Structure 1
Amino acid sequence: MSIIQEFKDFAIKGNAVDMAVGIIVGAAFGKIITSLVADVFMPPIGLLIGGVDFSDLAITLKAASDGAPAVLLNYGKFIQSIVDFTIIAFAIFMFVKVLNNLKKKQEAKPAAPAEPSPQEVLLTEIRDLLKQQSKSL
């Protein structure tokens, strides 16, 4: 099998397409959560602790000199990333929990018995007639 055919088989399979869609949706979801944390959650938290913008929190390791930028330890951005991660992890947890509950409900529903085939109906009638004849003898 040629490499091109193998690649076509891989790319067309549902798993590869589903994975690509998941990655794209996940990236967009990550941007939304990052904006939610940076623009909605962190400003009130910063205000509560004294009007501090978390993304500006840093420790200067080396001051700027002769056109070289300062070397900073940006722990505020790190705190913001931790909050981002926590919210994303909780949202994914809730999504998976809902999916698992739906799956459990679907598995709990008993499957409707299949209609017997015409042959099975005929055989059942023959069986019943044979039972009646054997009783009458």
Structure 2
Amino acid sequence: MGMLQEFKAFAMRGNVVDMAVGIVIGGAFGKIVSSLVSDIIMPPIGWITGGIDFSAMKWVIRPADNSNPAHKIAEISINYGSFVNTIIAFVIVAFAIFILIKIINKMRISTTAAAATPPEVTLLTEIRDLLKNKP
């Protein structure tokens, strides 16, 4: 088998294709969550905290110096406000994925339980329960 045929067989396996779809959807989901955090969640939090814009919060180590046009010095800062936004986005993504996995597992368990029990076992279980309740 040639290398090209081996690569085609590898790339067309179900797991690889599923993973690629998951990565693409995950990237889009990440953009949605980033917009949710920066455009919807953070403005009210900033308003509650007195108009603080978390994304603009930073600790300036060395301020910019534009006094000499030939030798401009850029500002050096630690942007901890962006870090706070990223942490909030991570928590929201993690919680959303947790809920999604919980729903998928619940659906998987209910379909497996319904399909796994043969009708004879269900009938015998009902007869047993009736006999237990009989005085």
Taking structure 1 as the reference length, the TM-score comes to 0.79
Q: Which runs of 4+ in 1 moved over 2 A?
A: 110-114
Match of 1:81 in 2: 86
Secondary structure at the aligned position of 2:106 is classed as helix
User: In structure 1, how many angstroms separate the alpha carbons of the residues matched to 2:41 and 2:27?
Assistant: 20
Deviation at 1:46, TM superposition (A): 0.6
- Give ranges in structure 2 of 5+ residues lacking alignment: 67-71, 120-135
User: In structure 1, how many angstroms separate the alpha carbons of the residues matched to 2:117 and 2:48?
Assistant: 59
Q: State the one-letter code of the partner of 2:19.
A: M
Aligned to 1:68, which of 64, 73, 76? 73
Match of 2:103 in 1: 98
Secondary structure at the aligned position of 1:109 is classed as helix
Q: State the one-letter code of the partner of 1:103.
A: R
Match of 2:13 in 1: 13
- Give ranges in structure 1 of 5+ residues lacking alignment: 115-137
Q: State the one-letter code of the partner of 1:94.
A: I
Size of the aligned set, in residue pairs, is: 114
Aligned pairs (5 A) from 1:1-137: 1-66=1-66, 67-111=72-116
